[in-house]
Amino acid sequence: MDTKIIYDINDTTLTEAAQTIRSGGLVAFPTETVYGLGGNALDPTAANKIYKAKGRPSNNPLIIHLARPEDAESYCHTNETYYKLAERFMPGPLTVILPKRDIVPYEVTGGLDTVAVRVPSDRVAHRFIELAGVPVAAPSANLSTKPSPTMAGHVIRDLSGSIDMIIAGDDCDIGVESTIITLSPVPKLLRPGLVTVEELREICPDIEISDAVLNQHQGRPESPGMMYKHYSPRANVVLLRGADEARQAFLADKSECGMLCYDEDTELLKNRYALAVGSKDSPKEQARNLFAKLREFDDIEDIKTIYAPMTASDGIGLAVLNRLIRAAGFEILDLD
Ligand code: AMP
Ligand code: MG
């Protein structure tokens, strides 16, 4: 299939992309979190095309993207908590799960009776969804198991030839996927993101944190996506738990390995396979760079292992740690 890549983004080209969605095609588009692979969320065939293009298991449900928080009324049974969350965090990087209405096909929800909704704040994403005039089902626009795409180049590399169109916009500002909270039946964090648990607690004081956020899950977790291999570069990722000094000492003689470092690891960064993910003090910066850096290691032919630090687990740090632990397939080496 010929994939049309749109570099010149304006109302004319976005209208063409919107038309492609309405006629059952797939369009990758930028959002503030990561690039999404969009299809008409009311069309079961489009949902199946999404799973196929990504190589994603079809029981791993898709998030539906809306232009306005109140549009959710047509697709799920909302409640007061939804509107409180919407008022504070939408448009923005928060996905809310609610009981679905019949109009949403089971192909989109992976067979579940709930549906995930999100209202992106990114200007291009918003305009594209508004012009589409239908809810846009969109998982991240990467091949399944690969790190999510935060740059147009990542999408072109993974999906060109297998989807209709790619809107090649700017690099994503946030860099990790949306925070996911389910309200069905009680508030529970399923995936951490830029909207933190601490912030969500101000609206949902009793919010629980799914066990699957930081632990390997036995059986089917509340968020099916949590059970699959995820965010993985070609080389094997191993997390190092311990003080910075212990990590630096451990890596000092590992010159043939990839190393994901903090800006502050100045000695390590002299190593040819060392890449900085951002300042140790800025989980926001780490989130923005994480997936792009993991993908950069794929271009280094001869590395078999990538060592990365265990990052902080509070605030936005939890989002970074959640992705890193999965990239590492839960492989953690204790240095203390
Ligand atoms: P991605 O689109 O790649 O960001 O993945 C979407 C994530 O949302 C996956 O981890 C899904 O498991 C999760 N998700 C979507 N819909 C639901 C739902 N109805 N219930 C639970 N998790 C969901
Ligand atoms: Mg994904």
Residue ranges per domain, the chain? 4-213, 236-334
Superfamily holding 4-213: DHBP synthase (3.90.870.10)
Q: Give the pLDDT score at 115.
A: 98
Residue 12 · residue 157 · CB < 8 Å = no
Q: Give the pLDDT score at 191.
A: 97
Provide the pairing of β-strand 114-118 with 94-99. Answer: antiparallel
User: Which residue of 223, 232, 291, 322 sits with most ligand 1 atoms within 8 Å of its CB, as the best mutation to test the pocket?
Assistant: 223
Q: Which CATH number fits the domain 236-334, given the four candidates 3.10.180.10, 3.30.1330.20, 3.40.50.720, 3.40.50.11030?
A: 3.40.50.11030
Ligand nearest to the CA of 142: 2
**Pocket residues: Cβ below 6 A from ligand 1:** 60-63, 97, 109, 112, 114-116, 139-140, 177, 180, 190, 222-225
Q: Give the pLDDT score at 224.
A: 72
Q: In which residue ranges of the chain is pLDDT below 50?
A: none
Q: Give the pLDDT score at 336.
A: 85
Ligand nearest to the CA of 61: 1
Q: Rounded mean pLDDT of the chain? A: 96
Note the helical H segments in the chain.
11-22, 44-54, 80-89, 123-132, 152-159, 197-201, 244-251, 283-297, 317-327
101/170 Cα distance (integer angstroms): 34
User: Which residues contact residue 298 at a Cβ distance below 8 angstroms, ignoring those fewer than 6 apart?
Assistant: 233, 234, 235
Strand order in the sheet with 332-334: 274-276, 258-261, 305-309, 236-241, 332-334
Q: Give the pLDDT score at 221.
A: 66
Residue 276 · residue 263 · CB < 8 Å = yes
Q: Give the pLDDT score at 220.
A: 66
